[in-house]
Amino acid sequence: MNTDYAESRMQETDEIAGVIGQPKGRGRARLARELFSGVYRPGQVLKLRDIGERYELGEDALRNAFADLESLGVVKLVGTGSATVLSASLKEMMEAYEIRAGLEEIAGRTAAAFLEGNTGELQGEVDAMLAAVRSDDLDAYAEHDIKFHRIILEASQNGFLRRVWDTLAIDLRMRAAIPKVTRDLLDSAESHRPIAKALEEGRGREAGLLLRNHVETILEYLKRSESDSRVQGAFRRDLEAAKEVQQAFFPERTMSIPCVSCETLYQPARGIGGDYYDLLALQKGRWGIAIGDVSGKGIGAALIMASLQASLKFQALQPHLKLSTLIGDVNRLVYGSSPTNIFATLFYAEYEPAKRLLNYVNAGHNPPLVLRTKNGSCEIFQLPTTGIPLGISADSQFGSATFQFEIDDVLVAYTDGITEAEDRQHELWGQQSLEALLRSCSRKSPKEIINAILEQVSTFANGQPQRDDITLLVMRVEAGCEDLAVSARPNG
């Protein structure tokens, strides 16, 4: 017998009188699926002999299955012949999947060296998963899904990862998760192909990130599918905690740039999202102003944005001469920590209140708008892109530009959740609508401008749900910093 306990348990067959070579795991998968999907109510007492017959499990397989289920808090064994059904804990499932995401990323990075040019077995498991989807065989899908990820885990040759995997009973959790994501099963199966391709070509970093993204996507499916009100309530509380963590990334409301009135708004399409803004107090009286947007939504986008925010803040607080160099360094950090299909737009500027001068780099972001009112009319200036989005290429070059503000100028920076809001005919609100509105708002306060934009977008959408994260940063330049400019000049 193979000395690797986990692998041997996966491959063995149940020796049940009257059952010819049933593949290991089919009965376990169906038992786990029905326990987690509510076939058995909490408090119900199950006779192990009856369960063994119903799911065609031999004595050893039955004992192992219930030991795993008890460790998950799904059942409580009573003596040697029965078990009481407990309420499944979604929170524990989520926590286990978050840990699993990290395990799989590490395993994928390491396994690439051993699986390069040798992924035929992985490709076969993907084909088998797709066949199982077509035949609506959830049990078969679960076993091939587990086998795919186990192959990578074993190829990593990391005993610690395997022990953590087995301790958390990830195999059983995967079986239990399948019925909760049935409507997304085809997408889930297809998402294994790029993982196998990256491993085939020895691209370990990409394989690891794809594996993490796959697990986090399943986690999103699990959250969306959960309908039990009690668990939904617990999940909402967890999400609120995550929102509080993300809110900590944003600047304090009390932070203010001298001689500037400023108002901001962040409104994710989901509980948390991938938009970002920041205000940074820098050396020599300068202020950093940032607004960005990661491709995608939800937790995955929020994680990438957190990485971008940390990288930008670290680089901006270091002594530097050129913004283009600073953003180039941030781009390399984002490129090195993001999957190949993820990028981020970013507008980053450094503002000198004494001179009312803005130096900026626009990495593929929607051009911020500057409103200037003279003689009763409003002129609009765009701050155009000076480079492509971050994370596309490690060698991207970024230009920089400057803009000279005047007193009463208004800067409006935003993400595409504003201009790409849809109505019931799937028409977009668009850049022209935003500019037309702003021409009538140039004399309003930053808060009034934000409220006017939100009202117009809501009216246009006419009840359509918000599709993308929305972020707005509006600032008006005020008088009062002239003395700073005078004191900053050299004597004599």
What is the pLDDT averaged over residues 405-429?
Answer: 93
What is the pLDDT averaged over residues 133-137?
Answer: 88
- What is the CATH number assigned to the segment(s) 5-85? 1.10.10.10
Six-digit token string for 96? 């286990």
**pLDDT over threshold 50, residue 477:** yes
| Position 312, amino acid | L
What is the pLDDT averaged over residues 409-419?
Answer: 95
Q: Which one of 11-15, 32-36, 275-279, 365-369 scores highest in mean pLDDT?
A: 365-369
User: What pLDDT is stored for residue 442 in this prediction?
Assistant: 82
Six-digit token string for 404? 């000279």
Q: Among candidates 270, 299, 279, 293, which has minimal Cα distance to 419? A: 293
What is the pLDDT averaged over residues 36-48?
Answer: 78
**pLDDT over threshold 50, residue 286:** yes
User: What pLDDT is stored for residue 93 in this prediction?
Assistant: 76
User: What pLDDT is stored for residue 49 in this prediction?
Assistant: 87
* pLDDT tens per residue across span 208-221: 999 999 999 888 88
Superfamily for 90-226?
A: GntR ligand-binding domain-like (1.20.120.530)
> Residue 178 has what DSSP assignment?
G
Q: Give me the residue spans of the domains in the chain.
A: 5-85, 90-226, 250-488
Confidence of residue 178 (pLDDT cuts 50, 70, 90): confident
What is the pLDDT averaged over residues 231-257?
Answer: 60
More reliable by pLDDT, 387 or 268: 387
Contacts of 153-157 with C-beta under 8 Å, sequence gap 24+, read 153/103, 153/104, 153/107, 153/111, 154/4, 154/7, 155/107, 155/110, 155/111, 155/114, 155/115, 156/106, 156/107, 156/108, 156/110, 156/111, 156/114, 157/110, 157/114
d(CA 477, CA 492): 30
User: What pLDDT is stored for residue 228 in this prediction?
Assistant: 45
User: What pLDDT is stored for residue 207 in this prediction?
Assistant: 93
Q: Which one of 65-74, 132-141, 392-401 scores highest in mean pLDDT?
A: 392-401
Element (H, E) at 225: helix 204-225
User: What pLDDT is stored for residue 337 in this prediction?
Assistant: 75
Q: Which one of 92-101, 171-180, 450-459 scores highest in mean pLDDT?
A: 450-459
Which residue reads 């960005």 in tokens? 292
**pLDDT over threshold 60, residue 171:** yes
| Position 480, amino acid | G
What is the pLDDT averaged over residues 114-122?
Answer: 94
User: What pLDDT is stored for residue 246 in this prediction?
Assistant: 54
CATH of 250-488, one of 3.40.50.450, 2.70.40.10, 3.60.40.10, 3.40.630.30: 3.60.40.10
**pLDDT over threshold 60, residue 254:** no
